[in-house]
Amino acid sequence: MMSEEGSGNMLIKPLKRVEEGNGESGENGHIRKKLKSVELTGNERKHPKRKVVLLLAYSGKGYYGMQRNAGSSQFKTIEDELVTALIKSGCIPDNHGDDMKKMSFQRCARTDKGVSAAGQVVSLKLWMIEDVMEKINSNLPPQIRVLGLKRVTGGFNSKNSCDARTYSYMLPTVAFSPKDYYTKNSAAFRLEPETLQRVNQLFGSYKGTHNFHNFTSQKAARDPSARRYITEMSCGEPFVRGGAEFAEITVRGQSFMMHQIRKMIGLVIAVVKGYSGDEVLKRSWGEEKVDVPKAPGLGLVLEKVHFDRYNKRFGGDGLHECLEWTEEEQAILAFKEEHIYPSIVETECQEGSMASWMATLPIHDFEATATGAQDKDREQDDEEGNRSDSAL
């Protein structure tokens, strides 16, 4: 039990446990518990602390992923920027920045180095100050924005409550050119409708539940967690940006392992270009090791996270909102047009990451086991500082 004293600036509550010999004897020999006082800060007196979700959009260029790495200040992440903004805006105490569990912080997906997001959702407890979104955004760099805020139940966890995640992958269509195509003229390449149809046939093969142990690192073939359920994967119609033709791949699944999406796309590209036959897809879901190439990280975007079960249970109870962001759709699109798409197009046109990656495809042996290649992937993962679980 807690009691208030004075003007409400001081809380008096009993200690959880009284050690033998501590405390004082009262009537009938009972031990009177010693009391401790807790000083309330200004925000604690003025503003209630509530469990909320924040809708985040960010361009991942220049950041080492989403998740904060304690003690690694040289590798700046999206959460580093967010926590700093929350403290500066007065939403959380200073000490919550050192221990994010104190604010019950959880993200839906851990996006890797350079990966962007248009619909990331994080859950946390914060003080509901006035103009909370505006104040948080005023302390964030332009390439990171809070686009929405909603109250949720006290036990809500954005990762555990998430039913599915949708990603997009924007790539130059020259990725689907024949392997003998002259990549120095990649801007002139245009994707034929027949090739797009074949691409979508191959992507359609991923639908359903498969064993994706070959599409990540350090995952045994019989590990049950390697089985993942894919509900949608397709490539849209091509479009021209910056003088080059691009296309956007969309994939939705319950969850994804580290690099899974990039390897799913990389293998289809290798098949379309003629480095391997269609049968390699089914073989990659078997127990043998298959050398699966990993497409570049540039172009991968977390588009949306889905909370169907939560919405069905709490969305219509009259107390909580559905975790849908229809009112924020225009703001999401505007952010993508201003920060995400230009970054992908400019970086691709200047650095040619897809063309450089395609040049490595001949060194992959799609018929042999991939022990050496997977070891090489693990070494690269360690160098990049990438993290596993639910994002790519």
Neighbour count for residue 275 (Cβ, 10 Å) = 18
Question: Quick one: which of 251, 230, 235 has its CA closest to 198?
Answer: 235
Phi, psi of 226 (to 5 degrees): -80, -10
HEC profile of 30-72: CEECCEEEEECCHHHHHCCEEEEEEEEEECCCCCCCCCCCCCC
Is 112 a residue of the active site?
yes
Element (H, E) at 137: helix 132-138
Residues 6+ apart with CB under 8 A from 217: 258, 259, 374, 377, 378, 381
Known binding positions for substrate: 167
Surface-to-core class of residue 266, CB atoms within 10 Å of its CB (0-12 exposed, 13-18 middle, 19+ buried): buried
- Catalytic member of 80, 94, 98, 112: 112
Task: Give the three-class secondary structure for 116.
Answer: strand
Start-to-end CA distance of the chain, whole Å, equals 46
Known binding positions: 167
Residues belonging to the active site: 112
